[in-house]
Structure 1
């Protein structure tokens, strides 16, 4: 039986929602980019996964919430890898790509997103299954 810690779940969902608008990349001429400015498809897929997690939380399906949390973790790793590869191979020209990779810096939005995903993962735990056992009654005084 899965138990869901709602405080951790809500904190994780709120942090993931906020992380989409935090700065993810610092581009020299353009300034700070959030998740939408770095890649709109990445933004929409991320918020779709968050919406599925919110639906699972409100419908009280702990198994589906756990599934969406793990999908969100995998998506975080894929997004970080995609942004890293995109910034290191933007022009398909060795000298320009190395120069661009040295000028683009990652910002603190990645950390907020990772903490939110970790809260989502830690919110679902295996609980004790009492089955048909009834707890003993308290003695009446």
Structure 2
């Protein structure tokens, strides 16, 4: 039987929404801080869809699906970080311009918030004993 820590799940979902929608992910010179939508809109919409499915499974009490989607969200966060890294380091297909661009673009604190959110989601469901006999 799966047991859920609702406080961790709710805080994880809230932090994931904050990290993906409004927190800055990268700092671009002359443009300022960019969130995930300004960085790549496809990553943004897929991430919002994953969060929506995860929250739906939480509210409907489908804990197996919630646990699976939490692990998918963790893998997706790692894949997003790698995709943004490779996009910023191989943008022009020229070694010189890519080096210059990679030195000027910096990651912001939004990635840390996303990592904390995903870790809270993954650790909110665990296997446990049924305390109430049938």
TM-score after normalising by structure 1: 0.91
Gaps (5+ residues) in structure 2?
A: none
Whole-Å separation in 2 of the counterparts to 1:95 and 1:29: 20
Report the 3-state secondary structure (helix = DSSP H, G, I; strand = E; otherwise coil) of the residue aligned with 1:3: strand
Residue in structure 1 matched with residue 17 of structure 2 by the alignment: 17
Residue in structure 2 matched with residue 91 of structure 1 by the alignment: 92
Residue in structure 1 matched with residue 61 of structure 2 by the alignment: 60
Deviating runs (4+, > 4 A) in structure 1? none
Report the 3-state secondary structure (helix = DSSP H, G, I; strand = E; otherwise coil) of the residue aligned with 2:37: helix
Aligned length: 133
Compute the RMSD of aligned alpha carbons: 1.1
Residue in structure 2 matched with residue 100 of structure 1 by the alignment: 101
Report the 3-state secondary structure (helix = DSSP H, G, I; strand = E; otherwise coil) of the residue aligned with 1:26: strand
Residue in structure 1 matched with residue 52 of structure 2 by the alignment: 51
Whole-Å separation in 2 of the counterparts to 1:50 and 1:129: 28
Q: How many Å apart are 1:130 and its aligned residue?
A: 4.9
Whole-Å separation in 1 of the counterparts to 2:104 and 2:63: 43
Whole-Å separation in 1 of the counterparts to 2:95 and 2:55: 43
Whole-Å separation in 1 of the counterparts to 2:5 and 2:60: 14
Gaps (5+ residues) in structure 1?
A: 135-141
Whole-Å separation in 2 of the counterparts to 1:29 and 1:39: 18
